[in-house]
Structure 1
Amino acid sequence: MVSTTGTSRVSRAAVRPTGQERTFGADELIVSKTDTRGVITYANDVFCRVGAYELHEVVGQPHNLIRHPEMPRAVFKLLWDTVSAGRELFAYVNNLAADGANYWVLAHVTPSFGPGGKVVGYHSNRRRPARAGVEAVQPLYRELLAEESRHGTGRAAAEAGSALLAARLAERGVDYDEFVWSLIPDVEA
């Protein structure tokens, strides 16, 4: 694990989306670890390269450093509710790089357990998602963002988005995991 001592805060306010999308290799994994507060304790070289950060710029920073403004708060609320309860979650996530580019990932976030089964942090592996999956999730995410925007930027927005997400999933007769897995193309033998 990388020490967080002596790191400087990176200003997220200065990063504005450029609309330039980047990707990464199908055989690459973006990996990061956080403590229970979501502060980055480890990031691999792919995380840094794709996110356009140096390692010292991310370690010690909140993981939402890479949160794209076009990602619904409801998805992050679901993610944190799930992993803090000790369960894993897969999610399609649009991230924001330090240079304003965005990059989509299929994230697998898991809790890390310490002695006695207590959650001591979180571990996330991200793969390059299939384009069809990204295109399928975008209309739902836009709808969630529109709903959230009607309720401000805080807890009320996340709650409103979460209620709409639950309703849309109920209409489909699936939970979020089943929805995500339905967007992942079958691998042909």
Structure 2
Amino acid sequence: MQEEKQYFVKENDFIVSKTDTKGKITYCNEPFLEIIGAKASDLLGKPHNIIRHPDMPRIVFKLLWDRIKSKKEIFAFVKNRSFKGGYYWVFANVTASLDERGEIVGYHSVRRRPNMDGVKFIEGVYKKLLEAEKIGGMEASGKLLEKILKESNMEYDELVHKLQRG
């Protein structure tokens, strides 16, 4: 089996995308297009999960959607696919975009280069979560994530920020 090529977000780049309330891409910046090897026309109107890597546990995205639908931000380590073949890791911040009445009109994500030591740790966690999902679905994965956080004596946000800071 051929190993996938890994791409890296440039040190000073911020990858930005916006979606509508259904998760369809409405905006993407040049660093985003560059790392995935696409033109804006390849992405606009498409579901953001077009770049989801199969190594990502579904429970992470459930947590993400639960947070942003309740107008709370979330940070996460995310492994994405590149259209050039291969993958890249990001440290993502995702928030709801609100109109003047405070209603959600879409979502906004800003991603940057992750701490690679944090990635090494989170890769191991994600593998365990994926295994749990294969056996017992998202419920099993969610319980395992709770157990991992309890054993680390940290809340989710505290853990991901610690991993990113190094």
Aligned to 2:131: 146
For 1:6, the equivalent position in structure 2 comes to none
Q: Among residues 93, 113, 128, which one is paired with 2:98 in the alignment?
A: 113
- Distance in 1, matches of 2:42 and 2:139, equals 31
Is the helix fraction higher in 1 or 2?
A: 2
CA RMSD of aligned residues (A): 1.4
How many Å separate the matches in 1 of 2:113 and 2:30?
Answer: 15
Alignment of 1:9-20 (within 5 A): 19-20=4-5
* 1:98 lines up with 2:83 in the alignment: yes
**Which residue of the partner structure matches residue 84 of structure 1?**
69
- Number of the residue aligned with 1:174: 154
Note the residue ranges of structure 2 that are not aligned, 5 or more in a row: none
Distance in 2 (CA, whole Å) between partners of 1:81 and 1:183 is 22
Contact conserved, 2:56 with 2:126, CA < 8 A, in 1?
Answer: yes
Matched, 1:41 2:29: no
Partner Cα distance (2:165, 2:97) in 1 = 28
**Letter of the aligned partner of 1:128 in structure 2?**
R
Structure 1 stretches of 4+ with a deviation exceeding 6 A read none
Aligned-partner SS, 1:36: coil
For 2:37 and 2:15, locate their aligned partners in 1 and report how far apart those are by CA, in whole Å. Answer: 13
Question: Which SS does the other structure have where 2:108 is aligned?
Answer: strand
**1:22 to 2:2 alignment:** no
Q: Percent identity?
A: 43
Q: How many Å apart are 1:167 and its aligned residue?
A: 1.8
